[in-house]
Amino acid sequence: MRTYVVRRIGLLIVIVFIAFTANFLIPRLIPGDPIQAELAQQAAITGNQGVNIAAAAKALDAKFQLDKPVWQQYLAYWDDLFHLDLGYSIQNYPETVGSEIRATIFWTFGLLGFSILVAFVIGCLLGAALAWPTAPRVIRALGPFFMVLGSIPQFLIGLALIFAFATILRILPGGGVIESTQVVAFNFSTIFDILHHSILPAAALILGLIGSWAVGMRGMMISVLGEDYILFAEAKGLSPGRVFLWYGMRNALLPQLTGLAVALGTAVSGAILVEVVFNYPGVGFLLFQAISQKDYFTIQGVVLVLIATLALTLFIVDILYPFIDPRVRYEQ
């Protein structure tokens, strides 16, 4: 058990090290001077060499010590990371990248967490129902339907939902997270407004995520229903519903939790574009704005946060999993 945890921590460190080093090296390996080019472009966009640009350039030069040898830059890069210092934003100077991310990440966590949870519950129920030998036709048809939805990018589902519910039916808002007339305060009407705006983006993610869990659950359920203890439970004369729920689903559900870890990866990249489609103020939308503004530091910061969050989540899932399901041993 201890060796497993130590090895898993080792893997986490290796992953973060590789990813962060790649993030440092890629810009330096590709020819050209992106910072110079981007600042020049900024100057061109604003029309003159504004105060912001000059100040930003100065801050960046000092910050990144670009005149120093690469290995010193590399050490400085890690030093900044250990201090959780991601530098200044170019698009919103003098705001820091860290504060930009702090302002947006809760929206993303909220949207993603809720959507993944709902999709997980629906997907597992649907998958279990699909494995039931006498499932109604309607439910049988839902399996392929959600599989197809799962294969197309989630932002396309989002666009279709906007067209249906915001453009044609006009019953749900097609973007943003809060009405401009809404006075933001911690009260019922604000929360209602936020939830109202979150229905469509969450629906886009949920519809896209259900399929993979339904397929996985169906497979697990079929193999569990073939186990001896199911036969024994039936022989004891337990009701089919009880056998199905308490002997079948409970055992099939646990391996599904590993799927949760894999799904997180696709959900994160899917959520970036869903946020863009809905102008939802999360890190994905921040990333989109940063790309269109060529805000190099914000892009890098968001990428680092995405990688670190995902690596950490997978680590936690891997460590917790044997506790949740005793059938899994730490030693493989």
Partner 1 sequence: MSVALPTATQEVEPPEGGILSLLRRGRRDGRVTGLLIGGVVLFVCIILFGVLGPVFVHQSLAQVGAVDPNLPPSGAHLLGTDGQGRDVLAAMIYSTPETVKIGLIAGAIGVGIGVVLALLAGFFRGPVDAVIGAVSDSLLTIPGIAILIVIANHLTQLTAISLGLAIASLSWMVPTRLMRAQVLSVRERTYIAVARMGGESELEIAFREVMPNILPFAAASLVWAVSSAVLASVGLAALGLGTGDVSLGSAVYWMMTYSAVLRGEWWWFGPPMIIIGLLFLSLLMMSLGMDRFVNPRLNDRG
Find the binder of partner 1 among 66, 153, 178, 190 (CB under 8 A). 153
218, 127 in Cβ contact below 8 A? Answer: yes
Q: Applying CB under 8 A, does 165 fall inside the site for partner 1? A: no
Q: Considering Cα of 40, then 46, then 50, then 51, what sign does the dihedral take?
A: negative
Q: Omega of the bond prior to 34 within 30 degrees of 0, cis?
A: no
Find the binder of partner 1 among 39, 273, 281, 286 (CB under 8 A). 273
Helix (H) or strand (E) holding 329: none
SS (H, E, C) 163-205: HHHHHHCCCCCCCCCCCCCCCCCCCHHHHHHHHHHHHHHHHHH
**The one segment of 15-23, 44-52, 69-77, 320-328 that binds partner 1 by CB under 8 A:** 15-23
Find the binder of partner 1 among 120, 155, 247, 280 (CB under 8 A). 155
Q: Applying CB under 8 A, does 6 fall inside the site for partner 1? A: no
Mask for 109-148, x = binds partner 1 (CB under 8 A) = ----------------------------------xx--xx
Q: Applying CB under 8 A, does 204 fall inside the site for partner 1? A: no
What is each CA distance from 6 to 165, 185, 315, 322, in whole angstroms? Answer: 50, 46, 11, 15
For the CB of residue 147, give the shortest distance to partner 1 in the complex, in Å: 7
For the CB of residue 23, give the shortest distance to partner 1 in the complex, in Å: 6
**Residues 6+ positions from 286 with CB-CB distance below 8 Å:** 100, 101, 104, 298, 302
Q: Which of residues 313-332 bind partner 1 (CB under 8 A)?
A: 314
Find the binder of partner 1 among 203, 214, 233, 306 (CB under 8 A). 306
Find the binder of partner 1 among 5, 40, 66, 166 (CB under 8 A). 166
For the CB of residue 332, give the shortest distance to partner 1 in the complex, in Å: 12
**The one segment of 78-86, 87-95, 241-249, 263-271 that binds partner 1 by CB under 8 A:** 263-271
What is each CA distance from 332 to 35, 98, 224, 287, 322, in whole angstroms? Answer: 47, 40, 22, 39, 11
The type of residue at 222 is I
Q: Which of residues 26-85 bind partner 1 (CB under 8 A)?
A: 26-27, 30, 32, 34, 37
**String of b and e for 213-245 (b: at least 16 CB within 10 Å)?**
bbbbbbbbbeebbeeeebeebeeeeeeeeebbe
Q: Say whether 32 sits in a helix, a strand or coil.
A: coil
**Residue (of 299, 221, 308, 313) closest to 263 by Cα position:** 313
Find the binder of partner 1 among 163, 192, 232, 246 (CB under 8 A). 163
Find the binder of partner 1 among 3, 48, 181, 292 (CB under 8 A). 292
Q: Applying CB under 8 A, does 251 fall inside the site for partner 1? A: no
**Residues 6+ positions from 250 with CB-CB distance below 8 Å:** none
Query: What backbone torsions phi and psi does residue 88 show, to the nearest 5 degrees?
Result: -95, 145
Task: Please give the Cα distance from 264 to 16 (Å, whole number).
Answer: 17
For the CB of residue 151, give the shortest distance to partner 1 in the complex, in Å: 4
Task: Please give the Cα distance from 308 to 285 (Å, whole number).
Answer: 18
For the CB of residue 203, give the shortest distance to partner 1 in the complex, in Å: 15
Q: Applying CB under 8 A, does 152 fall inside the site for partner 1? A: yes
Report the interface residues with partner 1, using CB under 8 A. Answer: 11, 14-15, 18-19, 22-23, 26-27, 30, 32, 34, 37, 143-144, 147-148, 151-153, 155-156, 159-160, 162-163, 166-168, 174-175, 222, 265, 268-269, 272-273, 276-277, 287-288, 291-292, 294, 296, 299-300, 303, 306-307, 310-311, 314
